[in-house]
Structure 1
Amino acid sequence: MNVLIISDSHGLTNEIDEITKRHKDEVDLLLHCGDSELAKDSEHLAPYSIVKGNCDFGEDFPNEIIHDMNGYKLYMTHGHLYNVKATLMNLKYRAEEIGADIICYGHSHIAAVEKNDNRLFINPGSIRLPVLSRKKTYAILEVEKDHVNVNFFEVTGEKVNELSNQFNL
C-alpha cells in the first residue's frame, strides 16, 4: 500500500493539484496533515483525508484520523496539540495510547522520518514554507509486509535522497 503525505500547504492549490495528479496512479491513500487553509469542500482536497491544523479555522476537520494499513495502524494529526516543535514525546505517548505503528504529523515544517520504540514518525515537511531547508517537500510511504519505505520529494517531483529511508517495523 502506498500513501501520499503532504502538510502545511497554507493556501496553495496548484501545487496540491500537481502533486495529486503526478502520483494518483501509484498511491492508494492521500493524507494531508493540516494547515491547508482551505475549506473542507475544496475540490483540491477532495481525494485527501485531512486533519485540522492550527491555521485551519472552523470545525470542519477532525484533530486526528486513524487508518488501518496492511496490519499497521497509521495515526495522523497536525502536531500543534502535542507541541511537536519542541518534542515528539507527547505525540509518542498518544501513539502508544492508541497503539499506532506509523505516525504522520506536520506543524514544524521540517521534513523528517525517524523510528522511535518501533514506531515510525513521519513529517512530510511543507510544500509552501519549509524550515531548516529550502526544499518544499512531501512524502510517499510504501507499506510492505515487513518493512516500509519513506521517500521524500520536492514539490517539483524530484526525489530527495538524503531524507528518504527504509525501515523494518
Structure 2
Amino acid sequence: MIAGVISDSHGNTMAVKKAIEKAPFVDIWLHAGDYVQDAAYLEKMVTVPVIKVAGNGDWNNTAIPEDKFFVLENKKIWLTHGHKYQVKWGIDYLSELAGRNRADIVIFGHSHVYCEKYEKNRLFLNPGSISLPRDGKEGSFAILELYGDKNLFQVNRYTI
C-alpha cells in the first residue's frame, strides 16, 4: 500500500494540487491537519480515501478529530497534528504516548519541518509543510510505502 502524507497546507490548494500531480499512484492520502478544508479539497480531487485530522488552525472544525488510530498493512498508525504533544521541541512526549498506544507509525505535522525518525522500533514522520516550510527547503510531502507481507515500510520525501 502506498500512502501520500501531507500536512500544514494552510489554505494553499495549489500546493495540494501539485502534490496530487506528483503522486498519482497512491492508494490513500493522510492529511495531518492545518487546514481540514484542504483535506476536503483533496477528497474532491482524488478517487482514493483520505484520512484527516484537525490541527490548531482548525479550531472551528470540531467535528474532525485531532487524533486517529487505524491499521494499514498490519501497522497501527497514529495520525495527529501534534500541537498537543510539544512536537516543536522534539518527539519525546509523542514517543511516550506512541508506546502507550502501541503505535507502529506516528504521522504528525505542526512544526512545518520534515522529520523521519526511527525510535524504539517506531517510525515518526512529519512530511513538513506543503505550503509554509520552516526548514529552509521547498514545500514537501511524503510517500509512505507499506509492505505488510514483509512487515517493512519505506519513506520518500517529495518537494513541490
For normalisation by structure 1, the TM-score amounts to: 0.83
1:43-82 pair list within 5 angstroms: 43-46=41-44, 47-58=49-60, 59-82=62-85
Letter in 2 for 1:20: I
Instruction: Give the 4+ runs in structure 1 shifted more than 6 A.
Output: none
Q: Tell me how far apart the structure 1 counterparts of residues 116 and 108 of structure 2 sit (CA, whole Å).
A: 10
Q: How far did 1:83 drift?
A: 0.6
**What whole-Å deviation, never above 9, does each CA across 1:26-60 have from its counterpart, x for those lacking one?**
211100000126277x4334452111111112203
- Higher relative helix content: 2
Structure-1 residue corresponding to 2:152: 147
The amino acid that maps onto 2:74 is G
Of 97, 100, 119 in structure 1, the residue corresponding to residue 100 of structure 2 is 97
**Residue type at the aligned position of 2:155:** V
Q: 1:8 and 1:45 mapped to 2: Cα distance?
A: 16
Structure 2 residue 125 is the aligned partner of structure 1 residue 127: no
Structure 2: any 5+ residue segments left out of the alignment? Answer: none
Q: SS of the counterpart of 1:27?
A: coil
How much is the aligned-residue C-alpha RMSD, in angstroms?
Answer: 1.7
Distance 1:66 1:54 in 2: 19
- Specify whether residues 125 and 39 from structure 1 end up closer, same or farther in structure 2 by C-alpha distance, changes over 3 A only: closer
Q: Residue by residue, what CA displacement relative to the aligned partner does 1:95-139 show, whole Å, maximum 9, x if unpaired? A: 111110000000000111010000100000001111122221100
Equivalenced residue count is: 153
* Residue-by-residue CA offset, 1:10-39 (whole Å, 9 max, x unaligned): 011122123224423x21110000012627
Paired letter, 2:156: N
Q: Give the match's secondary structure for 1:43.
A: helix
Q: Larger RCO: Structure 1 or Structure 2 (Cα < 8 Å, ≥ 6 residues apart)?
A: 2
Deviation digits for residues 118-162 of structure 1 (CA, Å, limit 9, x no counterpart): 01000000011111222211000011123211000001xxxxxxx
